[in-house]
Chain A
Amino acid sequence: MIRFVDVKKTYLNGVQALKGINLEIHDGEFVAIIGLSGAGKSTLLRSINKMIDITEGELYIDDVEISSIKGKELRMLRRSIGMIFQSFNLVRRMSVFNNVISGRVAYHSTFKTLIGRFPAQEKILALESLEAMGILDKAFARADQLSGGQQQRVALARALTQQPKLILADEPVASLDPITTIQVMDDFAKINKEFGITIIANMHHVDLALKYANRIIGVKDGLVVFDGKSTDITEDILVNIYGRTLKHDEVLGE
């Protein structure tokens, strides 16, 4: 369970990205965060695994206050949280398999990982993650030889190999074409249902968010302005979140 208590974030340049967030996210939920770019979606998401440090308030993960943890404790926290990026963030010249197994490095000592050997069961785990994402046959191809959708699945497999209880996705499909977008979102849904992993995703496409997520959080100017079931969303609520009607590129449109 994740609990935000009056969380604020002010950047060094004075920009106030989060102005007092109060939230509770329960295990097994599929949460989509929507809002204009610059509303604080990314900051909200990245504060959960402390890729960004919050400046005020309290943030609990499983009743542990995380804003003050660092070093080994922080790395243990991050180990239990998978993260998916808009630009996949794979090592492009490395093989798919090596990219996926690199999700395990935090489970080992620095010295062991320098050599680059992993236990057999972890290699099996990596391959099973690839199979779950349907790209086992690409295991030994170089990551940059894959299409965008395939690369995002490799990233998902890497996150799965971490055996996380939570996956954060920062605009996971924003650089994909409509067809692969659907496939990758189906993978997210599968991970959420079959593995029971909580998913929190920033979504640019509102219709996708409504279709896949069971909970929507609308963010505007660093504050939560809507929090509820995706079925409760109405046109008026969207106009409130976006301050205007949706633009053409904010719906995928099938």
Chain B
Amino acid sequence: MTNVQQTYLKIPKRWKINLIFSIAMLVALIYSFAGSEINILRLSSVFYSFKYMILAYTKINWDLVLGMGIYPFSDGVVYMALETLAMAFFGTLLGGILAIPLGFLSSETVGGKTGSRIGSAVLVLIRVFPEIILAVVLLKGFGINSMTCVMAIGIHSVGMLGKLFAEAIDNMDKLPLEALDAVGANRWQKIRFGILPQIAADFSSVTLYRLDINVRSASVLGIVAAGGFGAMLSYASAPENQSVLAALMVVIVPMILIMDAISGYLRGKLI
């Protein structure tokens, strides 16, 4: 046999792996549908549901959206949007502030081997819990109000931000720290003059990105813990209340688009 023929026999059968992967995906997909109670009657009316849904957007109750007329401002959807933004903002602020010491601790550069292990473990533990679980627990301490959401978002953000902060610290340029060692700086002085100036932009960018995510969580977290759109979303989840959902959507979508744009712009400035 020539070299070419020998090598030909060794060509890996990649398509077999691809086939297995595709079939696995397909099986998972079919399995996920298994037991879905697909109601033919319901499906036949999908078109009408769509039509009804689109129609709802032409009949939006703008008094309800803006909190005018018979609705006090504090019952309007716009007020809820402001409340949502406030929940996300304070949650991010709380998370950002608490994440700084934890981030430093769990970075190897500052915390060392032991510190980073302890810090990372704490952060992993915090991250594991979905915000809704945190909200359920915090409900007992803060009551059914927006403060519970702020705390839930804040605590969850600590876990996410702390990890990213620690990564930012470990990835930065270490040479300035050596220079500070050379001039005899202590640990705190090294953090102030060697680390903070380098990572400030990274921290801000990561925190702004978190704010984006938190605005989305704050929009729905109120379903469990009150505050923001929560109560009205629960109400709108009943099929007959499409017009209320429409009123919510015309505020939620632009709100998140604008927040994304602002934070994207600010993050662009930071680089």
A interface residue numbers (CB < 8 A to B): 95, 97-98, 115-117, 120, 123-124, 127-128, 130-131, 136, 139-140
A115-B18, A116-B18 known; A97-B4 Cβ under 8 A: no
B interface residue numbers (CB < 8 A to A): 3-5, 7-8, 10-12, 14-15, 18
Please give, as numbers and ranges, the residues of chain B lying within 8 Å of A136 by CB-CB distance: 3-4, 7
Known: A124-B4, A128-B4. 10 other contacts (CB 8 A): A97-B11, A115-B15, A115-B18, A124-B8, A127-B7, A131-B3, A136-B3, A136-B7, A139-B11, A140-B11
Interface residues of chain A: helix, strand, loop or mixed (majority): helix
The distance in angstroms between the C-alpha atoms of A128 and B5, with both chains bound, is 9
- Residue of B4, B8, B14, B18 contacting most chain A CB atoms (<10 Å): B4
Q: Closest chain A residue to B13 by CB distance?
A: A117
Contact of B12 among A124, A128, A131, A140 (CB under 8 A): A140
- Can you list 11 contacts pairing A with B, beta carbon distance less than 8 Å? A95-B12, A98-B14, A116-B18, A124-B4, A127-B7, A127-B8, A130-B7, A131-B3, A136-B4, A139-B11, A140-B11
Least CB distance from B14 to A in Å reads: 7
Give 8 nearest A-B pairs by CB, closest first: A127-B4, A127-B7, A117-B15, A139-B7, A128-B4, A136-B3, A131-B4, A116-B15
A115-B18, A116-B15 known; A140-B10 Cβ under 8 A: yes
Please give, as numbers and ranges, the residues of chain A lying within 8 Å of B14 by CB-CB distance: 98, 116
The distance in angstroms between the C-alpha atoms of A120 and B5, with both chains bound, is 11
- Residue of A116, A123, A127, A130 contacting most chain B CB atoms (<10 Å): A127
Please give, as numbers and ranges, the residues of chain B lying within 8 Å of A116 by CB-CB distance: 14-15, 18
The distance in angstroms between the C-alpha atoms of A97 and B14, with both chains bound, is 12
Least CB distance from B5 to A in Å reads: 8
Please give, as numbers and ranges, the residues of chain B lying within 8 Å of A130 by CB-CB distance: 7
Least CB distance from B27 to A in Å reads: 19
The distance in angstroms between the C-alpha atoms of A95 and B18, with both chains bound, is 16
Q: Closest chain B residue to A120 by CB distance?
A: B8
Please give, as numbers and ranges, the residues of chain A lying within 8 Å of B3 by CB-CB distance: 131, 136
Please give, as numbers and ranges, the residues of chain A lying within 8 Å of B5 by CB-CB distance: 124
The distance in angstroms between the C-alpha atoms of A117 and B18, with both chains bound, is 11
The distance in angstroms between the C-alpha atoms of A123 and B14, with both chains bound, is 13
The distance in angstroms between the C-alpha atoms of A109 and B11, with both chains bound, is 22
The distance in angstroms between the C-alpha atoms of A56 and B3, with both chains bound, is 49
Q: Closest chain A residue to B4 by CB distance?
A: A127
The distance in angstroms between the C-alpha atoms of A140 and B13, with both chains bound, is 12
Least CB distance from B11 to A in Å reads: 6
Determine if A123 and B8 form an interchain contact, defined as CB atoms under 8 angstroms apart: yes
Q: Closest chain B residue to A95 by CB distance?
A: B12
Please give, as numbers and ranges, the residues of chain A lying within 8 Å of B10 by CB-CB distance: 139-140
Please give, as numbers and ranges, the residues of chain B lying within 8 Å of A131 by CB-CB distance: 3-4
The distance in angstroms between the C-alpha atoms of A246 and B96, with both chains bound, is 60
Please give, as numbers and ranges, the residues of chain A lying within 8 Å of B15 by CB-CB distance: 115-117
The distance in angstroms between the C-alpha atoms of A136 and B10, with both chains bound, is 12
The distance in angstroms between the C-alpha atoms of A131 and B14, with both chains bound, is 22
Least CB distance from A95 to B in Å reads: 8
Please give, as numbers and ranges, the residues of chain B lying within 8 Å of A127 by CB-CB distance: 4, 7-8
Q: Closest chain B residue to A98 by CB distance?
A: B14
Determine if B11 and A123 form an interchain contact, defined as CB atoms under 8 angstroms apart: yes
Please give, as numbers and ranges, the residues of chain A lying within 8 Å of B8 by CB-CB distance: 120, 123-124, 127
The distance in angstroms between the C-alpha atoms of A95 and B3, with both chains bound, is 18
The distance in angstroms between the C-alpha atoms of A165 and B15, with both chains bound, is 31
The distance in angstroms between the C-alpha atoms of A117 and B4, with both chains bound, is 19
Least CB distance from B115 to A in Å reads: 36
Please give, as numbers and ranges, the residues of chain A lying within 8 Å of B4 by CB-CB distance: 124, 127-128, 131, 136
Q: Closest chain A residue to B22 by CB distance?
A: A115
The distance in angstroms between the C-alpha atoms of A120 and B3, with both chains bound, is 16
The distance in angstroms between the C-alpha atoms of A88 and B45, with both chains bound, is 57
The distance in angstroms between the C-alpha atoms of A140 and B11, with both chains bound, is 8
